[in-house]
A and B are shown apart, each in its own frame.
Chain A
Amino acid sequence: MKHVLQRVLLLAVYVLLLYGLYVGIINNGEHEEVGALASLICYSCIGV
């Protein structure tokens, strides 16, 4: 019973994370924002 519950929980976590990824990419276009951010020089990273 415990093992079945573990499998179900793991599956539920996967579904939740994939849904989060879907919303983040398809609905919000967050990946493009990340790309735009990462294409610029971060002066905080350099230390100026």
Chain B
Amino acid sequence: MIPRLFVRRWFQPLCQGASLLALNGYVAFFTTFQLYQGPLKNICLPVLNCHSCPAALFACPIGALQYFIMTHRLPLYVLSSLALVGITLGRLSCGLVCPFGFLQDVIFKIGSVRIELPRWCRHIKYAVLFGVVCLISYVFAVPAFCKICPVAVLEAGFPLALHDPAVSQRIFNTSTGVFTGWLFVFKTVCIGVLLVASASIKRPFCRILCPLGAFLGLFNRYSLLRLDVNRDACTGCEKCARICPVDLNLMFDANSAECVRCMKCTACDHVKAKHVFSFFRRENNV
């Protein structure tokens, strides 16, 4: 049995806020103008946190994955470490650790208009994972997802453009008057649209575009940590569906690849988070 701590209202924001600071805790950049280059950068944590962010302490797993794909090598370290997290916890890092998920959650609380996302949208992220991150990067040897990643422009683009004269000169060369930052503008528009959409749609980036969520979601159904729904006892109150940050109906979608394992739904007495070995006990099986 997983502790009931997960259902406390403060638990998820506390985890997300703490991880935001822990992942981006390199404050020395603002005096040295150098990215962190210590041993922590060798580690790929299973969250979409751009390693070009001036304050980032860890490597971005998608950026690292693309690097190996671009150089036509099997990314054993990145794939194995991500899959180990996936097979143990599923998408728990999306729900409790990812800083961009946190930002979307916060913006959604501010918004008043609510829009439900069509179900087919959830398939786009697999096209992003296999098409953009794998195929285009492999064929054209470019970090294709980085070029469209809206998280990167927010975490790395804006801070570096403001603080690093070399970067701002690459966007707009003041000596020649040539503007070359069209991709920067495109990404800025993308992040703007995404953040505005976050006010009405629950976690649009995680559900539509995130390749890391798509990868980790593949393990949700088989991971050590799973959700156990007692369908016989369910009264159909839909409390779990209302509280779910990705609009899942647990009667049909428990342990689906969409679940970000925030564990809020375990507030319902009929939904329990269990590790897989507890499922092996006959009395607990549904």
List chain A positions with a Cβ less than 8 A from chain B: 3, 6-7, 10, 13-14, 17-18, 20-21, 23-25, 28, 30-35, 37-48
Given contacts A35-B41, A46-B153, 11 further A-B contacts (CB under 8 A): A7-B277, A13-B87, A14-B84, A34-B41, A35-B37, A37-B51, A39-B36, A39-B41, A41-B160, A41-B164, A48-B171
Complex contact A31–B42 (CB within 8 A): yes
Complex contact A45–B42 (CB within 8 A): no
Q: Contacts A31-B77, A45-B152 hold; do A38 and B60 have CB atoms under 8 A apart?
A: yes
Complex contact A44–B143 (CB within 8 A): yes
Interface centre among B36, B67, B153, B181 (most CB of A within 10 A): B67
B184-213 contact mask (Cβ, 8 Å, vs A): 1 or 0: 111110000000000000000000000000
A44: chain B residues at CB < 8 Å are: 142-143, 146-147, 152
B143: chain A residues at CB < 8 Å are: 42, 44-45
State the main secondary structure of chain B at its contact with A.
Answer: helix
Complex contact A38–B167 (CB within 8 A): no
B186: chain A residues at CB < 8 Å are: 47
Complex contact A10–B77 (CB within 8 A): no
State the main secondary structure of chain A at its contact with B.
Answer: helix
Complex contact B184–A46 (CB within 8 A): yes
Q: Contacts A37-B64, A39-B41 hold; do A30 and B59 have CB atoms under 8 A apart?
A: no
Q: Contacts A24-B80, A31-B42 hold; do A42 and B63 have CB atoms under 8 A apart?
A: yes
Complex contact A34–B142 (CB within 8 A): no
List chain B positions with a Cβ less than 8 A from chain A: 35-37, 39, 41-44, 50-52, 56, 58-60, 63-64, 67-68, 75-81, 83-84, 87, 142-143, 146-147, 149, 152-153, 156-157, 160-161, 164, 167, 170-171, 180-181, 183-188, 222, 224, 276-277, 279-280
Closest to A2 in B: B280
Complex contact B41–A20 (CB within 8 A): no
**Cα-based distance from A34 to B78 in the complex (angstroms):** 9
**Cα-based distance from A3 to B281 in the complex (angstroms):** 9
**Cα-based distance from A24 to B81 in the complex (angstroms):** 10
B180: chain A residues at CB < 8 Å are: 48
Complex contact A48–B167 (CB within 8 A): yes
B149: chain A residues at CB < 8 Å are: 45
A6 CB, nearest partner CB in chain B, Å: 7
Complex contact B171–A30 (CB within 8 A): no
Other-chain residue from B43, B51, B83, B87 in contact with A31 (beta carbon distance below 8 A): B43
**Cα-based distance from A40 to B79 in the complex (angstroms):** 21
Q: Contacts A34-B41, A34-B44, A39-B36 hold; do A47 and B157 have CB atoms under 8 A apart?
A: yes
B51: chain A residues at CB < 8 Å are: 37-39, 42
Complex contact B67–A33 (CB within 8 A): yes
**Cα-based distance from A10 to B252 in the complex (angstroms):** 24
**Cα-based distance from A3 to B224 in the complex (angstroms):** 13
